[in-house]
Structure formats: structure tokens, C-alpha cells
Amino acid sequence: MDAVEGESKYYSTQGMPKKEEGSSVGIKVLFFARARDLTGLSDVRLEVPFGSTASDCLKELAVRFPGLEEIRQCIVLALNEEYASESTVIKENDELAIIPPISGG
């Protein structure tokens, strides 16, 4: 049932300049549920310094979207659809999903 989607423009790594240490990495952040309401976006591109962790990305996002503070303590993170702890180091073109719980039904 694992669904696949065709967002090749975000995934294609061919032709991307190779990133050097000291430069930044660009990732795509996906917002779900309440995170979507708070940012007004379903996804956003984020540039963070090389070697940044998922936690660093969250800090950067909190600066750009202060409203996200509301759900900071109750989100699940997924990096490229895999479980990620906040100390996971981010790579170029990673996809970081911010998933707060939904309770409606």
C-alpha cells in the first residue's frame, strides 16, 4: 500500500551541484495537520548549514514560523519517510515531515 508520488522536481539529484563542507544543504519540509494551519503551507524549502540536524531544522523553522512553537512538544518527525530522531544529520534534498497528531473523527 506504500503510495508513491511523482514529485520528481524535488527528488531529482541529477545535475545538482555537489555540496561541499561549509556550504548549506537544501531540504524540503512537509507540514501536516496543525502544522499546516500554523504555517499556512503544506511544504517549504529550507536551507540549513551543512551538518545540521533535524533539531537544527526545527529551530530554523521556529524562527520563520513562530506559531509552530505551539506543537513543538508533540510532533513526530520522519526523514525521507523513515523514522528520524532529532539528532539525525540532514542531507541535501532530504524530505523532513512534521507530523502532529490529529484527534478528530
Partner 1 sequence: MDSGGADAARILSEIKGLKATKSDIEAKISALEAQLKDLNCRNDAVSSNGSCPLATSLDSGLGHGLSPEMIHRYSRQLLLPSFGVQAQSNLLKSSILVVGAGGLGSPALLYLAACGVGRLGIVDNDEVELNNMHRQIIHTEAYIGRLKVESAAAACRAINSTVQIVEHKEALRTSNALEILSKYDVVVDATDNAPGRYMISDCCVVLGKPLVSGAALGLEGQLSVYNYNGGPCYRCLFPTPPPTTACQRCSDSGVLGVVPGIIGCLQALEAIKIASAVGEPLVGRMLLFDALSGRIRIVKIRGRSLHCEVCGENATFTRQQFQEFDYEKFTQSPLSASAPPKLNLLSGDSRISSKDYNERLKNGEVHILVDVRPEHHFRIVSLPNSLNIPLSTLEKRLAEISSALREAEGQRDASLYVICRRGNDSQRAVNYLHDIGFTSAKDIIGGLESWARDVDPSFPTY
For binding to partner 1 (CB under 8 A), which residues are involved? 1-3, 5, 32-34, 36, 42, 70-71, 73-74, 76, 78, 81-83, 85, 97, 99-105
From the number of C-beta atoms within 10 Å of its C-beta (0-12, 13-18, 19+), residue 45 rates as exposed
Closest separation in Å from C-beta 24 to partner 1? 25
Closest separation in Å from C-beta 94 to partner 1? 13
How many Å apart are CA 91 and CA 105, to the nearest integer? 36
Q: Which is nearer to partner 1, 7 or 47 (CB)?
A: 7
Contact 44, 56 (CB under 8 A): no
Q: Which is nearer to partner 1, 43 or 48 (CB)?
A: 43
Q: Which is nearer to partner 1, 25 or 68 (CB)?
A: 68
Contact 92, 26 (CB under 8 A): yes
